[in-house]
Structure 1
């Protein structure tokens, strides 16, 4: 390919089929920036995209995946502050319209103009570079650890869950699930001085990791007492964890569902919900405000995702990297692609 600079990208052409392509380097249009990718995380949603299990309407093939990423602004388009060039950054994934009722209310992850998200319907970060609207950027301090910053997307989801749950000092808190979201939530909730912070996961080795992130106890599901917690933050998205999380909350307690559930998940008992007078919230992605919370926590050192990263691969080894995600190996944490 000739006629100008080129970039590489992992293109998922259809479920189960991908290739590493060389394409003309994107050029930023009005209101856009071109970001050189430093690191991009792989999560279960990316595996769902590859395997064709993502819900219809929430992916558009062919697609370059990659919604968890960090990088450096390399070029700006017309109408964008040229001072952004050279700045380390992350960016919100949802391409919210900014003008609908939900956006004007600050709930940008619930934009009613139609679903559009980097890495699912728009080209993502499993590439050397990507284009994003400048209005979605969140700048990082110079010298930031961009390897760790690639986890600010799941950190923003956790920030949304913490906003929804409203933890108070001295409360008894449970986190269900000890994956990336669960461990980030544990770190964040530990900063709210809980009297008890239990992490519940059937995988003992993964649950034990939470002790290094501020948990006071690592429990198997059967070891957690029903009705023992003021706040329960569910992060696993397993078939039964929505219902079981509600059973862990005390009467009048609060439950936040953060995991992404698939068809066939166990329903929540409406009798228990009403009799116990539970406050139940769910989280889908992260609003601009939650992103700002996550970036601030990262910049001030309150939240350091770096210990979660266990594996790094070049773009050429995408298939090998993807195969590690979602398995039972307790030594596998967050897997990154490093263009």
Structure 2
């Protein structure tokens, strides 16, 4: 039955009952007596109450669909509204679910293209920084050294200071280029890249330790890049916003296959902070490889970012044969099970 006929018949039933009462035991005289007025008012209230209850019951599926529309998030796909009954509302719910699936697919496709273009642009900028700016600063350093060897002592000190400033700028350029294009990831693999990333973020105020389980399943190249970028963004957020002095980076197998990345700090936590562009970027990258990203509080405070990658095949990749030294994990705690907060 269509929504129109359902509402029409509900209202018609209420009105028919009211007419039957007026034709039967309820009568109205002129002028209206007090008792009759009270009966009419009570009957009107009863009709309005019955009509409201029937409408609420009849429009409940629309309210559920409206809530689903309001809470739909393309960065957290998979949630669908249950289709109940038949008719127009069921058809509308089915159409909405199909539209949501199409939008999620189109968003994943467009996000993949954007991120691929972003990575290509990062590689181009890193290459230009290395080849153009880096070589120019290197030439400046050599020229400053040559000039400093031929000038009087008072001027030589100033030239040495200029050399140090130029050398610091060259180191910064190289650091930016490494962040834009993680060459160690392409050359040595994910394990070495994570260790290099941890060393890069380790300062006198922040200590970063890595714990990598040996013999992990082999990851595809795009999955390795996603793991690296998520770890990079998590460490960047920790260094900038958390106020932490210690961070742990874990890479370990999941109980049912696959790999989990966990970045955990001892800072002040997320609190009520809104998700910024960095976290949205992590979620979009995660969707591209069918993984799960969970952000939350750590078991002892602070913030932890967990990336669960489904099983990506078995075997041992080149970096796994190199071994991981003494940074193995002794086991998997309760907070590391798939689906746990964080």
| TM-score, length of structure 1 as denominator length | 0.22
1 or 2, which has the higher strand percentage?
1
Greater Rg over alpha carbons, structure: 2
1 or 2, which has the higher helix percentage?
2
Higher relative contact order (CA 8 A, sep 6+): 1
| TM-score, length of structure 2 as denominator length | 0.22
